[in-house]
Each structure stands twice: as C-alpha cells, then as structure tokens.
Amino acid sequence: MNYQSVADQLLSSGLLLTALELHVELAERGKELTSLKKFFENPSNFEKYTRKFSVPPSPCPSQASIEGFKHRRGSQATLDSTSLFELTRFSEDSRAQTEDRLAVLEFELRKARETIHSLRSQLTDQAAKLQDSFHPQADVPGGGESAKLSLISDLVEDPEDDEIPAIRSHERRTINYLVNEYLLQQGCKLTSITFSDENSEEDFEDWDSVGLNVAKPPSLLRLFRDFGQHVVPEKDQTEQSCQTDEPWIDNAEISRLEGQNQALETECQVLRVARDELSEKLSDHQKLQDQSEMKIKKLQLDHQCLEELIETLKANRSSEPSGNANEEDQPSSVAIEDMDVDLSPRFPISVALFQLLSHRCHIRNQPSSQETLTKMSEADALDTVLQLLATSLPNIVPNVILAKRDELIPLLLITIQMHPESKIRDHFLNLLFNLIKRPEAPQREMIIHGFQAMAQKSGPARIESELLPQCWEQIGHKYEERRILVAETCGQLMPFIPANLRVSLLLSMLQQMALEDREVQVRCSAIRSLAFLVIYLDSDEKFDSLWQLTSTLLKETHLEVIHVTHETLLPAMAHLGTALNLLHSAIARESIHLLIKHTDLAEDWSSYQAIHIQLTTLSVLLPFVIHSVISSAPKLQKEKRQDHSIDPVQPKDLCVSNTLQVFYQDETSMASVIQAFQDLVGCEWYERWSEMNWFLDAFLTPFFQALAKIPVPSESHDFEDAILKPAIEFVSQLIESFGRDFGLMSLLPLIERQQEQNPPHHMDNVLKAVIAVAILRPCQSQEVFVATLKQWLILHLQESHPTNSILFAIKSTLNESRNFGVSIAEMAWTLVTDQDRALRNFSGRIFEALVVEVIEDDDLIGNRILPGLVTLSSDPDELIRISALPGLGVIMAGSMDALREKAAFQFLVSLEEGESAIVFLAVLAVLGHVWKDLPMKMREETILYRVAHIFSKFCSLDQDAGSLSRVSDICLSLLQLYEIVSDQTLSANSVHQILLPNLDLLSKCMESVVPTAQDRVHAIEAKLESIYGVGHANQNGESRLPTGSNAATKMVQSPSLDEMKHKMGKLFNKPGGPVPFWKKS
C-alpha cells in the first residue's frame, strides 16, 4: 500500500484531520502528494465533506426537510415541515461543525507559522554560509552570529573592481526596506509611494517580511557614516620585470620615474585624506558651536525661571512647621531638576514682538486681584490649605447655585493640586470642567490661571497625564464656551507642555477646532493659541503643514477668522519663516502669487475682497521682509563685526513706521540702523546683495504688476477702502523704511522698466494712484508734484482715458495735507481758461474736491474757488455748467453767509437760465446731497419755490416719446428730494403753499409715466398731514386746510430773478459791505 491509496482512503472516509497531518509530514519530508495539496487548497471541497459527514443518517421521516433546511443559508431558512425540536437539534449540530472547522483552521495556522519560521531559519543560515564564503570568520569568536549581522551591512569592495556582483533575493529585500525607510525619513512621500508600487511583492511596513531572523538594521545614513571606518584589505602585489631586446629603453630612468610617480600619488592621497578630515572636523565644530549657542540661550532663560522657583520653594519650606504629623500624607512636590518646563521660545524673538503677539493672543499673566489663586503657589503646608478652605466655604455654602458656582473654582483647583491619588484628581478635573455649564470670560480666566499655578507646581508630567485628556474630551462639547475654554487653556499652558506633545496632541486639537468648529469665536480662540504654539516650536518639521493651515484660514468666508489670522497666526508664521530662512521662498512668494491670481480675475466685488485680503496679508509680512533685507545688508553686518558704532539718530528726526519697532530694543537704535540703511540704498548706485535682489525682482516687481491690472472705478468708497488705501499704505511704509531717495532712484525706474516690458491694459489703474500718493507726493516738492499730476491729466484726456486715479490722488492729497490747496487751486484755474472742453469740465471736479477739503478756508474759497465755479457756471457748454453745480452746492451748505449767498445766486442763475432736463436732474441730485445743511430761509423762500416752478414747466410740455423718458427721470429724482425734504423741519406755510400742491402735481405726472411710485408720494403727504395738520389736495387742486385756518389757498409768488439780482446788488453796494468778488483786483 502506498501513500496515495492511504490518502484517498482518508479523504473518502472523511478523516480530514488525519489526512491533514499526513499531508504536513509528507511535505516536511519532501514527498508531498498533489491530491492532498489540491484538496486542502480548495475550501469548497472541505465544506462539502464537512457537511456530508457531520450529520449521521437518520431514519426520521423529516430527515429530508432538515437536510433542505440545513443546506439553506440563514436568510433562506423557513419553518415549513420542521419542528421546534428539529430546529434546536440542528442548531447544536451547526455549532459542532463551526467548532470543528475552527480547530482545523487553528491547526493549519500553527503549522504555517512553524513552516515560516523554519524557512526563515534556513534562509538565514544559507545567507550566512554564502557570506562566509566571501569573508570567512572561522577564527573570530562568535563568527556565526557576526556572519548573520554582516548580512545587514554593506560589503567593503575593492575600488579597482568594476564588476557589479549579482544581488541575492534577501539582499534586495533588505536594501529595498532601507531605501523606503530613508525616503520616508527625508519626507519624500511621493517617491516612497512610487517605490512601493514598483516593489508591490514586499511589505515595507514590517521588517519580518524580509525573511531573516536578525534584528532590524540601522538606517542608510548610519551605514553610510560607518562605511569610512572599515579598512580595505590590501591585496598582495609582486613586482615582476622582464628584459627586452630593445637597446634604446633606459630601465633605470623608468624605475626612477615610476618611483617618483608612486611617491607623488602617495602624498596626494595623504593630503586628500587630511583635507577630508579637516573639512569634517570644521563642519562638526560649526554645528556644535551653533547648538551650544542655542543651548546657552535656552539654559540662561531656564536658569532664570528655575531660580525663581527655587526661591519660592525655599520660602515655602521655611514657613512649614518642623513637626508636621501629616507630612507623609501630603503629596510631594516635583523636584526642580525633574520639571521639563520650556518657558523660552526655541528660536530667538525680540521682547517687543513676543509681547505684541502675547497681547494679541490674549496670553495674560496671573492677575493680582485673584488672591485665592495666588495662594495656590504657596499651598505646600496644610495650614494654608485649611486657610483656603475657610475662606472659600463661607461663600460656597449659601451660594451653591448656578450663578455662584464660580466660588467653587479655587477649592476644586486646590484639591486637584494637593490630592495624592490620581483617580480623585481626575474626578475633580472632570467636575471642574462640568461645574459651570457655559463659563463666561472671567470664569474661564480664573480656571486657566488655576491651571497655570498647578503647572508651575506639579510639572508637565501631570499636565500630560491628567489635564490634556480632559481637554481632549471637551473639544466636541455642545456649548461653545466649553470649547473656548479648551482652546484658551492650550494657549495659556503652552510653556508648560512638553515639546513632543505640542507638535502632536496639542497641534491636532487646535487644528481641529480652528478648521472644523461651527462657531467663529471658538475658531478665533484656537487660532490665537496656534499662534502661540508656533512661537514655541522647536523644529521645522511642522512648518509646511502649519503654513498650509494658515493659507486655508486666510481663504475663509468669515471675516473675523481672517482678521484674527492676520493679527496673530500670520505674524507668528512670518517670525518662524524668518528663523528658518523660509520667509522669502515659501510665505512671501505664495502670497505674491495669490495676489496676481486674484488680480487676473478682478471683475466683481468678490474678487476685490480677495485682493483686499491678499494686500492685508502682504502688509503684515512687509515688516518682516524689510527687517530681513536690512539685517542682511553686508555693509551693516561688516560694521557690526568691526564694532563700528552707528551714529545715533533721534526717532523724531526720522519718520519710521511703528511696525518695525518690534524688531529693535528702542526707538533710538531702530532709527539709527534705518538711517544707516537709507544712506546705503539711497545712492544712485550701490552693490546689491542676494536678499535685495529678491526683494526688488521677485517681490516688488510682481506686486506692481498686479496693481497695474486693477482699474479704478468712479466714485466707489468701498473700492477705495478695500484696494486703494491698503496699497498706498503698503508702499508708504516701504518708502518710510527705505527712504525717499530710494523711492525716486530705485522704485520709479523699476516701475518704468516693468511697464515698458508689460504695458498695462488699463491706463487708469491702481498703480498710478499709488505712485502719485505714496511715491511722488512725499518725495517731490509741491510744485513738481502738482505739475506731474497736470501732465498726467492732460495725457489721459487727450487719449480719452478715464481720470479716476488722478482725481483720487488729488482728493487723497488734500485730505492728508491742506497745504496743497493753493497749488491745486492754481492748477484748476489754468484748466478753467484752457480751450480744451474736457479740461474745463475736469476743473469742476477739482474745485468740488477742494471745497470739500478746505471748506473752512474762506479766503481760498472766496478768492480762487468760487470765482472759478462762477466762470464754469457761465460757460456756454451745458456739461461744463453742470460740473460747477456740486461745488456751488457744497459752498451753499457749509461756508460763511456772504459766500453762501453768492453761491446760491449763481446756482439759481444756472437753474433759471438752463431749464433743460439734464441741468434740472443735476440740480436735484446736488440738492439731495446738501439739503440738510442748507439754511432754512434759503430752502423755503428761494430754492423750494424755484424747483416747484421749473417742475411745473416740465409737466406742461407735450409728452412725446422723448419727453416721457425725461419726465420719468425728473419725477423719480424729485420724489427722492421730497423724501429728504419731508424729514426736515418746515414751516406750515411752505408745506401748504408749495410742497403739497407740488406733490399733487407730481402724483398726477407719475400716473402716466411711473405709476408704481405713486404710493411713495401718498406716504409723504400722509406724513406731512400727521405732522402739520394739513390734508391732501382735493380733485380741483385746492388744498383742504384745518378748520379755522386763514392761510391762503394758492401759491404766493416767489421773488423773480430780477428782484433777486437787485437784492444781491444792494447787498454788495451797501456802505461798508463786502466788495463783489467779480470786482476784486
């Protein structure tokens, strides 16, 4: 009988375990049967035999139904033709089947593991033997084990041997594992993924998959560094010579030259080795020096903190009684040397910048008003604890209600700190977090200061094991106040948390709250704590993820989140980027690219808002960029190294932006450094350095290109606040730091070259306004600046370009300094007398801007502005007369009485003489702006009547297709004016005689042109009736007066224009009266 027949008999009899044991034993002997292997590799065969022989045959009549039920799946089983007894018995058989299968599978798993272990041992031994064939180690003690370990190290090959040996399978798996580990350590994640895909048969996450019973080898870096310590065995060499028959070869000369050559090669090799050793020693020495300097700075700050802690402990110990019976029950305080408290940032930061960021992040010191919490640092003795209990309990007992639960906070904090059992402390910590359902700001502040005192006393170990787990549980609480408490706690306890937890647990918590929380206040608190975390980072491994987080927050839709990010997180990242030399290459470059991207899409207000965010981002980064450029100037560094003192400069002598003060000790030192820097870069030529080249070419050039792509709309205050003002402030801060000479000699040529290479699509762009306001105005004299504006204006109007940027520059200049008023007025006068119609029209807009800014300067208005407006209002061109109306309206509303009357006279002359729809619409628009500031007498006696009179003329015209459109526009404008008029104080006589009849006429006109606006007219009439007791006009046009009223029933005639001229003439011809402006010399 052979093994095959035995196997067939076992399988046919259902003796599966016996057949499996026979299969394993035959496989171990190398006599494996194919039938057994195929049988156990096919799960369906195994299941079939299990079902067939697991249930004995039964003569029961319901056997067929049970078999049918058994072979069904659980979802197909039914109760047809079955009994409860049969179902119960069948379920027991199923469990027996499952147990049998489980036993078989466990046996297979155990045998497979033994087989794997045996194969791994065989592979290891074979590899060791192969290794011994190359490097025999029979004479070395422990040669067998060293042979195994040598599989993991690189072989030292003969440098003259160019033949590459064939790699073995276990060597390939080992090297692949080390290469993948090296790629992950160096951050090459994409390369590691590609490498894993190309070697998909290996599992790089488990060293055991290599198949060797040896420990995990060191990294590639360690193997590389250890390579130089191996000694290359010298090969035995023999010198052989032969004699030839050629008589002309001088063997002695050849031997001499060969000897010299060998000596020179040996000397070169020695020099190379010495050079490499010296380079390595120099590099190591430099690294040790840098590390020592950083450690010294850190240890100095820690030493200062530890001295304060030692003094506190000494004071506490001296106050303890000598014979304290309960001393063993008190929890021992943490030793000073065991407290890993990092109170100083890893990278150097100026005191002013640290204080500024701490203030913005709401990092507060312990308040002196919290006397109970202050005593926590002194609570080492039992009598102190009893004193705190005696102080707190009287307030707790009568006030244990929701409104007074904050009285429990000091007692809970003391208990948490002093209790020796960790379970009790965890319970009280949980009770503290849940004590107040929605803690307000003062309550949160008290809790956080208690945590700070506990951290100072207990050390970071307890913070890590007890407090942070409680915070983690609270980040998903339904009340936002709880989540705010967690975010603020993380920020306040940042110095007391170990560095490894900051970049792992703490960063994950704050990142989750900053990105995913549904409440804006929680996100803002998390962002502030993140900013403080960035200050305390001790490595650069998290820089990329933190900058990506900052970029995501700057793209938020909530403006408050963006504002807090600009105030806290972005300056902290800028400081970290400066310390890591990544400010230019990562942060500033990406911000510039985003600005260019948004300017390319600047079509609507949403794009302008995105541009505003990027301009604000660059404004926050600009002080750090300027400081990096200044501090890297070679000349200034050389003077510092040579101890050359820079001449002191008083801050008042130099206009420097306050944002740079955070980088210097005081204002005097800052002013001195910046003055020296301005002297350096203010020359016509100076030697540039790498940071300066980057600043000009990669930072400012694309910034100016982006500004040149944004057109300036007309009269948009939102656009001015969002784009123009931030851009001007950015360049102004640049000029203040680099100096005016730098603006004229470097910035202007840079902009000119950029515009020559890339001409702007819009001549009237933001860059032009920025150049005028931020560069030319502070760097040029008044006369040159105004002449430049006039030259730009003439060029724009000749080429039919918009002039909004020039008008904004004029308004901004007048708003900043009224000293430019006379120069700009002179420029406007030259435009008034120009033959060009467009220039005369623009002069009216200049006069309007002048009047708004210099309304209190009566001399300038009376001598230059008002005569210019009168001249414009007398121009034969209708549009030029309209351009003078806004300026006259502003004078009518805000100047002295004499100037008001003159402006009102000319205003009414323009209105009376024009009587066109365009002029009348312009008059109504101007009156709507200035009506509230006009004198009541002027409003009621002259203007209101003249407006009603002219409107009645327009209504009496024949209404053809063209006039209907004009009447519709006039009706809507007049309705807007009357809505403003109805809100002001009026006399009952004016309301009855002028306003109500004209409203009735307005309603009739709207009935045919704008019927939908009649309700607004009726609302005005009802409002006037409720205030003045005046009813609506009847159908005959007569007004219904209150009973007993003696008022007239129709309009009184207003003085004619001739009468007004006569009145104005008498005013100017009055003895001692003012001289008319048109008669002044």
Specify the pLDDT at position 560: 94
Tokens of 84: 């409860």
Instruction: Name residues whose C-beta falls within 8 Å of residue 890's C-beta, 6 or more positions apart in sequence.
Output: 848, 851, 852, 855, 930
CA distance 513 to 487: 8
Q: Do the domain assignments include residue 442?
A: no
Residue 68: band (very low, low, confident or very high) from pLDDT cuts 50, 70, 90: very low
Asked if residue 64 and residue 28 are part of one domain, the reply reads: yes
Asked if residue 92 and residue 76 are part of one domain, the reply reads: yes
Specify the pLDDT at position 213: 67
CA distance 825 to 786: 10
Specify the pLDDT at position 96: 64
Task: Quote the number of domains for the chain.
Answer: 5
Tokens of 1037: 């046009």
Specify the pLDDT at position 116: 75
Asked if residue 119 and residue 83 are part of one domain, the reply reads: yes
Q: Do the domain assignments include residue 386?
A: no
Q: Give tens-digit pLDDT for 235-247.
A: 555 555 555 444 5
Instruction: Name residues whose C-beta falls within 8 Å of residue 482's C-beta, 6 or more positions apart in sequence.
Output: 433, 438, 439, 474
Q: Picking from 338-352, 582-596, 1012-1026, which range would have the lowest pLDDT averaged per residue?
A: 338-352
Specify burial of residue 515 (Cβ count, 10 A radius: 0-12, 13-18, 19+): middle
Tokens of 712: 């300036």
- The more confident residue out of 308 and 276 is 276
In this predicted structure, the answer to whether residue 607 has a pLDDT above a threshold of 80 is no
What are the residues facing 1033 on neighbouring strands?
1039
Residue 180 contacts residue 196 (beta carbons within 8 Å) = yes
For residue 901, CA distances in Å to 334, 846, 894, 934, 946 come to 86, 22, 11, 11, 16
Query: For a pLDDT cut of 70, what percent of the chain falls above it?
Result: 69
Specify the pLDDT at position 1029: 73
Asked if residue 1023 and residue 991 are part of one domain, the reply reads: yes
Asked if residue 964 and residue 1026 are part of one domain, the reply reads: yes
**Within its chain, how far is the Cα of 319 from the centroid?**
51
Q: Do the domain assignments include residue 602?
A: yes
Specify the pLDDT at position 157: 47
- The residue among 853, 880, 914 that closes a domain is 914
- The residue among 725, 748, 779 that closes a domain is 779
Domain that holds residue 648: 581-779
Q: Do the domain assignments include residue 25?
A: yes
- The more confident residue out of 218 and 402 is 218
Q: Give tens-digit pLDDT for 718-771.
A: 888 889 999 999 999 999 889 889 999 999 999 999 888 888 888 889 999 999
Find the Cα–Cα–Cα–Cα dihedral 451, 453, 459, 461, rounded to 10°.
Answer: -10
Residue 473: band (very low, low, confident or very high) from pLDDT cuts 50, 70, 90: confident
Q: Do the domain assignments include residue 714?
A: yes
Q: Give tens-digit pLDDT for 130-141.
A: 555 555 544 444
- The more confident residue out of 297 and 861 is 861
Specify the pLDDT at position 234: 53
Asked if residue 814 and residue 681 are part of one domain, the reply reads: no
Full DSSP string of 901-969: HHHHHHHHHHHHHH--HHHHHHHHHHHHHHGGGS-HHHIIIIIHHHHHHHHHHHHTS---HHHHHHHHH
In this predicted structure, the answer to whether residue 1035 has a pLDDT above a threshold of 50 is no
Q: Largest Cα–Cα distance in the chain?
A: 157
Residue 530 contacts residue 511 (beta carbons within 8 Å) = yes
What own/partner pairs with CB < 8 Å and gap ≥ 24 does 1071-1079 have?
Answer: 1074/898, 1077/862, 1077/863, 1077/866, 1077/867, 1077/870, 1077/902, 1078/867, 1078/870
DSSP code, position 326 = T
Asked if residue 928 and residue 893 are part of one domain, the reply reads: no
Asked if residue 1031 and residue 925 are part of one domain, the reply reads: yes
The CA R_g of the chain, rounded to the nearest whole Å, is 46
Q: What is the pTM of this model?
A: 0.61
Specify the pLDDT at position 725: 92
Residue 637 contacts residue 651 (beta carbons within 8 Å) = no
Q: Give tens-digit pLDDT for 152-189.
A: 444 444 444 555 667 877 788 888 888 988 888 888 88
Q: Do the domain assignments include residue 360?
A: no
CA distance 360 to 535: 13
Specify the pLDDT at position 337: 37
Tokens of 964: 């209907």
Q: Give tens-digit pLDDT for 271-298.
A: 888 888 888 888 777 777 777 776 676 5
Asked if residue 793 and residue 762 are part of one domain, the reply reads: no
Asked if residue 808 and residue 774 are part of one domain, the reply reads: no
Specify the pLDDT at position 959: 57
Q: Give tens-digit pLDDT for 640-668.
A: 544 444 444 443 333 445 567 777 766 76
In this predicted structure, the answer to whether residue 336 has a pLDDT above a threshold of 50 is no
Instruction: Name residues whose C-beta falls within 8 Å of residue 987's C-beta, 6 or more positions apart in sequence.
Output: 940
Asked if residue 787 and residue 769 are part of one domain, the reply reads: no
In this predicted structure, the answer to whether residue 948 has a pLDDT above a threshold of 80 is yes
* Residue 423 backbone class (left: φ over 0; alpha: ψ -120 to 50; beta: rest): alpha
Q: Do the domain assignments include residue 500?
A: no
Asked if residue 992 and residue 938 are part of one domain, the reply reads: yes
- The residue among 178, 209, 225 that closes a domain is 225
In this predicted structure, the answer to whether residue 440 has a pLDDT above a threshold of 50 is yes
- Residue range 848-864: mean pLDDT, rounded: 88
Q: Do the domain assignments include residue 1044?
A: yes
Average pLDDT score over the chain: 75
